[in-house]
């Protein structure tokens, strides 16, 4: 497992994000606690990152491949989202352009009529009215009408000029959006090609690992190693956050026993405690689900780990207080970062096959004080 310096910094920063009611704790004590946590995590990082064999190097290569794939998929999703937004904006601009063009044609006819009328009357309209009328009241009334028509004519022309300006602005906006969409399409194709290359590299690494794990003893050793690595991470994270206090208004995890939703829709591939072919028992449940399907938090909690872990792939862990944690492994990508608070039902990841899985699925665990709990007791259905 590789815990980057950025991840460590994010974890340490997140520990400061406690509610305001706890902000009065002594600064010296908090700094000492953070220093201790940092030292423990750095020590664990150095130990778990050691490459001790060819298999360890392959696992390290697999981690690099799968993290690259995860980042590419996130980037592709971001580009697709941007393209969708720009596409909608482009359609809106085109509708606006159509309305403005209809207004322009209508106004142009009115302007032409006004110009023709002005030409017929000539430039000395007011003088002609004065010379052609003898009744002062009638002259005053005609001058008011004349002034009204002049103002109306001026408004028509001003509106026409304004519409032309708006039309020009919208047309320029359409061109910019089209240019940006073209660039994003090009970027999307580049990312897709890079994704194919990364997936091919991942498959080559998996093939090499499969050759090394051809024997049952090799597979068993890896499973023991993966389980030990996960347990050490859970224990270390649990000790690191033990002194943190959860908000007083949070519903206790135990109150939701048997009432929580499963984190994703899918068929259960195993049962909790079921013995595997190699003799190891399951400490969680794998849910077979479509790749990219949303993974949702089962209960309100704080993200205490969000990174790659060998054997679990892209892993996210939520702390729910009172010693309870939920773990979500083998994700395609993670949508939340360390320190963030999430509500029940919030999307925290997407289903994937990282960690060396041959098909997509979510590995799900619930733990209390580091010990696995049967998820079927907590989640309904």
pLDDT digits (tens, 9 = 90+) for 348-377: 999 999 988 888 999 999 999 999 999 999
- Describe the crossing of helices 5-14 and 27-48 by its angle, rounded to 10 degrees: 150
- Band (pLDDT 50/70/90 cuts) for residue 5 is very low
pTM listed for this prediction: 0.60
**What is the predicted pLDDT for the residue at 19?**
45
Q: How far apart are CA 68 and CA 186, in angstroms?
A: 20
Provide the H-helix boundaries in the chain.
Answer: 5-14, 27-48, 54-121, 125-132, 136-212, 216-241, 375-378
Of residues 322 and 106, the one with the higher pLDDT is 322
**What is the predicted pLDDT for the residue at 16?**
47
Tell me: pLDDT of 132 over 70: no
**What number is the average pLDDT over the span 51-57?**
60
**What is the predicted pLDDT for the residue at 7?**
47
Mean pLDDT (the chain, rounded): 75
For 357: left if phi > 0, alpha if psi spans -120 to 50, otherwise beta; the answer is beta
- Band (pLDDT 50/70/90 cuts) for residue 29 is low
Of residues 102 and 348, the one with the higher pLDDT is 348
**What is the predicted pLDDT for the residue at 173?**
77
Tell me: pLDDT of 234 over 80: yes
- Describe the crossing of helices 216-241 and 27-48 by its angle, rounded to 10 degrees: 170
Sign (positive/negative) of CA torsion 176, 177, 181, 182?
A: negative
**What is the predicted pLDDT for the residue at 245?**
65
Q: How far apart are CA 1 and CA 45, in angstroms?
A: 7
**What is the predicted pLDDT for the residue at 284?**
94
**What is the predicted pLDDT for the residue at 349?**
96
**What is the predicted pLDDT for the residue at 23?**
46
Give pLDDT tens digits for 295-347.
Answer: 999 999 988 888 888 889 999 999 998 899 999 999 999 999 888 899 999 99
Q: How far is CA 181 from CA 158, 184, 242, 357, in A?
A: 35, 5, 49, 35
Of residues 225 and 9, the one with the higher pLDDT is 225
Lowest mean pLDDT among 87-96, 215-224, 268-277: 215-224
Q: What are phi and psi of 24, to 5 degrees?
A: -85, 0
Tell me: pLDDT of 4 over 60: no
Q: How far apart are CA 277 and CA 223, in angstroms?
A: 12
Tell me: pLDDT of 215 over 60: no
* Residue 161 structure tokens: 């000029």
Cβ-based neighbours of 216, under 8 Å, separated by 6 or more: 278
**What is the predicted pLDDT for the residue at 319?**
92
């Amino acid at each position: 497992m590789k815990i980057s310096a950025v991840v460590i910094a994010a974890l340490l920063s997140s520990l400061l994000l406690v509610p305001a009611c706890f902000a009065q704790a002594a600064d010296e004590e908090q700094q000492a606690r953070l220093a201790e946590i940092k030292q423990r995590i750095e020590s664990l990082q150095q130990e778990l990152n050691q490459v001790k064999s060819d298999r360890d190097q392959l696992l390290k290569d697999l981690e690099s491949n799968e993290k690259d794939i995860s980042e590419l998929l996130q980037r592709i999703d971001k580009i697709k989202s941007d393209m969708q937004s720009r596409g909608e904006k482009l359609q809106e601009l085109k509708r606006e352009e159509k309305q403005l063009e209809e207004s322009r044609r209508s106004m142009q006819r009115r302007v032409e009529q006004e110009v023709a009328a002005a030409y017929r009357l000539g430039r000395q309209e007011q003088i002609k009215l004065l010379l052609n009328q003898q009744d002062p009241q009638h002259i005053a009334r005609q001058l008011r009408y004349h002034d009204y028509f002049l103002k109306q004519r001026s408004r028509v022309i001003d509106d026409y000029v304004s519409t032309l300006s708006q039309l020009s602005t919208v047309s320029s906006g359409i061109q910019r959006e089209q240019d940006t969409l073209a660039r994003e399409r090009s970027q999307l194709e580049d990312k897709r090609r890079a994704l194919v290359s990364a997936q091919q590299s991942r498959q080559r690494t998996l093939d090499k690992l499969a050759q090394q794990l051809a024997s049952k003893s090799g597979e068993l050793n890896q499973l023991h190693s993966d389980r030990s690595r996960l347990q050490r991470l859970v224990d270390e994270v649990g000790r690191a956050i033990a002194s943190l206090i959860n908000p007083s208004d949070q519903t206790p995890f135990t109150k939701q026993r048997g009432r929580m939703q499963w984190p994703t829709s899918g068929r259960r591939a195993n049962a909790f405690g079921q013995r595997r072919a190699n003799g190891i028992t399951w400490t969680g449940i794998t849910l077979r689900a479509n790749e990219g399907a949303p993974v949702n938090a089962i209960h309100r909690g704080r993200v205490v780990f969000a990174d790659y872990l060998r054997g679990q792939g892209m892993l996210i862990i939520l702390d729910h207080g009172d010693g309870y944690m939920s773990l979500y492994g083998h994700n395609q990508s993670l949508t939340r970062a360390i320190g963030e608070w999430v509500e029940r039902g919030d999307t925290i990841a997407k289903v994937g096959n990282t960690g060396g899985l041959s098909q997509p699925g979510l590995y799900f665990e619930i733990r209390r004080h580091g010990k696995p709990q049967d998820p079927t007791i907590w989640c309904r259905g």
